[in-house]
A and B are shown apart, each in its own frame.
Chain A
Amino acid sequence: DAKTTQPPSMDCAEGRAANLPCNHSTISGNEYVYWYRQIHSQGPQYIIHGLKNNETNEMASLIITEDRKSSTLILPHATLRDTAVYYCIVRGFGNEKLTFGTGTRLTIIP
C-alpha cells in the first residue's frame, strides 16, 4: 500500500473549517484513500473514504487532487469534540488491511 505523509500537528479555531492535508504521491490507480480519527483512549472512528472523486458525508468532505497524489479532509465547522488524531490511510485493491501511520494531532481551540 502507498505510504502517506501528514503534518504531525495542527490547531484550528472552534467554528472554523479544519483542513487536514495528506500526501500520497505513490498511490496507484486502484487504491482508496481512507480517513479515520482517534479520540483519546477510544478506538478509531471511520470518517470517509474515496477513490478519485470528491466525497461528502455528514461528518466531513474529502477532496482528492486530480492526479490523486494528495487529499484534504475538511471538517466544515470544527467543534471541541473534533480534537483527535486524524489518520489518512491508503488501502490497496483486494487488501482488507489498514496500515496506520502517525497521523495528525488536531487541536480545536476555543
Chain B
Amino acid sequence: GAVVSQHPSRVICKSGTSVKIECRSLDFQATTMFWYRQFPKKSLMLMATSNEGSKATYEQGVEKDKFLINHASLTLSTLTVTSAHPEDSSFYICSATTGTGDNQPQHFGDGTRLSIL
C-alpha cells in the first residue's frame, strides 16, 4: 500500500518552455503533498507543501510564480516549472501523506529528472 506515482520520470526540453510534473497517490487519499528538489550528490530540499483545495505554501527562497503547484484533488498534485532555464535542471520528487495523525509517514514518488537544454 501507500504508492505514489510520479510522471514523467525524465524530461528533456528547450529553454523557455514550461514543464508539468504529475504526482498521484494510487491507493490512498493524500490531504497533503510535498514537492522537493535534489541536486546531484546533495540532500532533498523542500520546495513547497500543498493541501487539497488550497494554495500551496512555499519555502523561503522558492519562487511561487516559477514553480506553480496545483492540488486539485485528493490524489493528484502537479508542479509546473514555468519558462524553464538550464539552472532549473534538477531531480524533482513529490511525496504524499494522509495527514491524519501526527505520525503518518510521507510516501515518495520515484522522482522526475528534468534537463533543460
Contact = CB atoms under 8 A, between A and B. Distances in A.
Interface of A: 32, 34, 36, 38, 41-46, 49, 51, 87, 93-94, 96-103
Interface string B74-117: 00000000000000000101110101001101111111010000
Q: Identify the 8 closest CB pairs spanning chains A and B, nearest first.
A: A43-B108, A100-B44, A100-B43, A46-B105, A44-B108, A43-B110, A43-B111, A43-B93
25 contacts: A34-B105, A36-B108, A41-B91, A41-B113, A42-B111, A43-B4, A43-B6, A43-B93, A43-B95, A43-B109, A46-B105, A46-B106, A46-B107, A49-B105, A51-B103, A87-B43, A96-B34, A96-B49, A97-B46, A98-B34, A98-B46, A100-B36, A100-B43, A100-B44, A102-B43
B25 interface: no
Size class of the B contact interface (CB-based, 8 Å): 20 to 34
Contacts, number: 56
Please indicate which of the listed interface residues B6, B45, B94, B95 has the most CB atoms of chain A within 10 Å of its own CB: B95
Please indicate which of the listed interface residues A34, A44, A46 has the most CB atoms of chain B within 10 Å of its own CB: A44
Contacts of B97: 96
Contacts of B94: 43
A95 B55 CA distance: 18
